Amino acid sequence: MSIETLPVELFHCILDNLDTETIVFSIRHVCRLFRSFVKTYDRYIVNLTLISKRNYYLLCRLINPHHVISLKLANEERTTNQIDLFISLVRLRQFTRLHSITLLNIKEYQLNFILKRINLNLLTAFSFNINRYDDRRIKTTNKYLRLIVSQLNFRKMEFNLNTERLSKFSWPYNCSIQYLVVNENITMDNLSIIFQCSPHLHKIILKQKLEENIVTNISLKSTPQIYFPQLTSLTMEKLPITIAILESFLSLTPSLVYLKLIGEHFMFDGKRWEQFIEINLLNLDKFEFYLDYWSLEKKTSADLELIIASFRTPFWIEHKKWFVTCAWNDLLNHAEPGKVLLDESKFRLHSIDTKINNENNSIQLVLNLGLTDYKLFICTQQQDIPQEIRQYITEDHLAHPLGVTYILITSDNYLVSIKRSSTCADLPNTYELPGDHAEPKNLKTYTNENIVKEIISSTIDECINETNVDRNSPLIDSDFYIVVLMRSQKHYGRPAFEFCLRTIMTLSELEQRYNLQTQNEAYETNELKSWSIAQIFDLLSFSNISVPINPAGHAALIA
């Protein structure tokens, strides 16, 4: 058979395996016959996220919108305002055959504008990621999302709605969705509603945390017990804080065939997994997990063998044929015994500028940030480097990881601090304001909005991880602001933002939760200490030697 006699249907099947740019800019120009074949091709999968500006304009002009079945747009750093540009170049109402839409880092007004104009009746898959919410548009957004999810042919959805927004969304009953990807923290309440309204939902990927306090309420105390028998595939990429909470959730999913777990500082006990699976997950066929096991005690290769031995029973090797491997990092063998050092990327504060907001005549801070890591901080700012060497070190040589700490105030006006445990490498056995660092690893793209959001959210997360304060109790909107930017003289100018954060919990309620020791970073602290705000000057007095509060915390309270 010659190319001239090749059926157009077969040629179109070949095009199904090529990307849009190859079809339009290469295949189309081979010959007149190929041009005619391409002209009638009507199954374009258009991805405009990684494309040159020239090709972007050409594709918008050359491709018939009626021939597009899948569309992907994004406001990325390389394609700033791409979505607005797309809206200006095409007629959205001509996209009548879309089966799949992906809209990343989209502003809420853009989302509503697009969904109002395109045909939603044929959608089988929809993914969106809102990077700028507008509370005035909640009802409109929910209306379009409900319309999409209600379609009989709708099968897959990926979204990043925050907990508050998701709780306000009325999930349509008996919807046809089969595959769900959640890119934000989600409460068990919201997840339970989705399951109850989605009898065909068999696969879920949770990219962020399943919030633990709600899990306990639902899975352990609900009467009658709630089960999710339709779920056969589950991926959790940020595990709950304890194995008990994870088990309480997994016990609600008896039909699981595939399970994938990713987490840190988690249970690594093959015998316990074996017993749980044999009782609760009888259908489980494939089990993948990537877990970090750590200990405050010095470990040896013999200890590693004891851990891995629990995964070498007949259940794992012969019955399930699940083979587990384990790697040992001897970092602690080279560190001070009993100390913990975790190295990850951090934001590096280069400098701070200010600018005037002409709308309200206020001063805004402009952070000039780069990337560093904790290892570089240890090497350049935490070591006692001799002065004859230190004199040659300039600001450009210092790591300057940007820290975030906070002054936590209870509803009955007590200020809360924590006492760092003796296992901490940094300022052990001292009282300090809780805090840590913003985490670059949590961001897919380093946009200004995403970085600011991470600085704020990491502060809230650290508050929860260290004090066990209820996730829903901080007054983020009305009582959350920067107090001061600190520079630690001891650490050669190490920077940290000090925030003020109020909670609706009383001191007694907070102490009860702290004493449960279920928080992620319980091992880092061994005491929760409080002072009445009315008596705060007792804490600030340098003569008060009974309270060894670290210098940064002392200075923040003065500010």
pLDDT lower than 70: segments of the chain: 1, 77-80, 212-225, 240-242, 264-267, 293-299, 327-343, 357-362, 382-396, 422-427, 475-484, 489-490, 535-559
Residue type, 547: V
Residues 217 and 134 reside in one and the same domain: no
Residue 384 has a pLDDT of 64
Q: How far apart are CA 461 and CA 450, in angstroms?
A: 16
317 phi and psi, to 5 degrees? Answer: -80, -45
Q: Among 127, 154, 181, where does a domain finish?
A: 154
Q: What values do phi and psi take at 141, rounded to 5?
A: -60, -45
What is the structure's pLDDT at 241?
58
Residues 484 and 550 in one domain: yes
- The tens digit of pLDDT for each residue in 42-90 reads 999 999 987 888 888 999 999 999 999 999 999 875 556 789 999 999 9
What pTM value is reported for the model? 0.61
350 and 465 both lie in a single domain = yes
Q: What is the DSSP letter of 475?
A: -
Looking at the fold, whether 144 and 163 belong to one and the same domain comes out as: no
Q: Does residue 206 sit in the same domain as residue 167?
A: yes
Report residue 216 as tokens: 């306990």
What is the pLDDT at residue 399? 83
Q: Are 525 and 544 members of one domain?
A: yes
Number of domains in the chain: 4
* Domain membership flag for residue 431: yes
Of 329, 357, 387, which residue constitutes the final position of a domain?
329
Regarding whether 301 and 382 lie in a shared domain, the answer is no
56/202 same-domain check: no
Q: Is residue 334 part of a domain?
A: no
CA 236 – CA 263 distance, rounded (Å) = 8
Distance CA 364, CA 284 (A): 54
Q: What is the rounded distance in angstroms from the CA atom of residue 487 to the CA atom of residue 525? A: 23
The answer to whether the beta carbons of residues 370 and 347 sit under 8 Å apart is yes
Measure the CA–CA gap between 414 and 393, rounded to whole angstroms.
Answer: 42
Kindly give, in sequence order, each residue whose CB lies less than 8 Å from that of residue 18, ignoring residues fewer than 6 positions away.
27
Residues 490, 419, single domain; the answer is yes
**How high is the pLDDT of residue 334?**
43
Q: Tens digits of per-residue pLDDT, 127-148? A: 999 988 888 999 999 999 999 9
| DSSP strand pairing (233-238 vs 179-182) | unpaired
Answer whether residue 165 is part of any domain. Answer: yes
How many whole angstroms separate alpha carbon 511 and alpha carbon 60?
A: 59
Q: DSSP character for 225?
A: P
Predicted confidence at residue 424, as pLDDT, reads: 64
Residue 388 has what pLDDT?
Answer: 61
Residues 389 and 535 reside in one and the same domain: yes
| Residue type present at position 379 | C
In a domain, 335, yes or no: no
Q: Is residue 104 part of a domain?
A: yes
The DSSP string of 390-405 is HTT--GGG---B-EEE
Q: How far apart are CA 90 and CA 94, in angstroms?
A: 8
Q: Would residue 536 count as lying in a domain? A: yes
Residues contacting 406, CB < 8 A, separation 6+: 433, 434, 435, 459, 462, 463, 498, 499, 500, 501
Any idea what the CATH number is for the domain that residue 227 is in?
3.80.10
End-to-end CA distance of the chain: 83
User: How far is 381 from 79, CA to CA, in rounded Å?
Assistant: 37
**Which CATH number characterizes residue 362's domain?**
3.90.79.10
Which DSSP string corresponds to 316-332? IIIIS----------GG
Could you count the other beta carbons within 10 Å of the beta carbon of residue 97? Answer: 17
The answer to whether residue 337 is domain-embedded is: no
User: Do 389 and 506 sit in the same domain of this protein?
Assistant: yes
Q: Do 252 and 189 share a domain, yes or no? A: yes
Residue 442 tokens, joined: 């949590």
Domain range spanning residue 122? Answer: 47-154
- Residue type for position 522: A
d(CA 210, CA 519): 14
Q: Which pLDDT does position 276 carry in this prediction? A: 94
Query: Mapping DSSP to helix (H, G, I), strand (E, B) and coil, where does residue 453 land?
Result: helix
Cβ atoms of 132 and 101 closer than 8 Å:
no
338 domain residue, yes or no = no
Query: Domain boundary residue among 88, 120, 154?
Result: 154
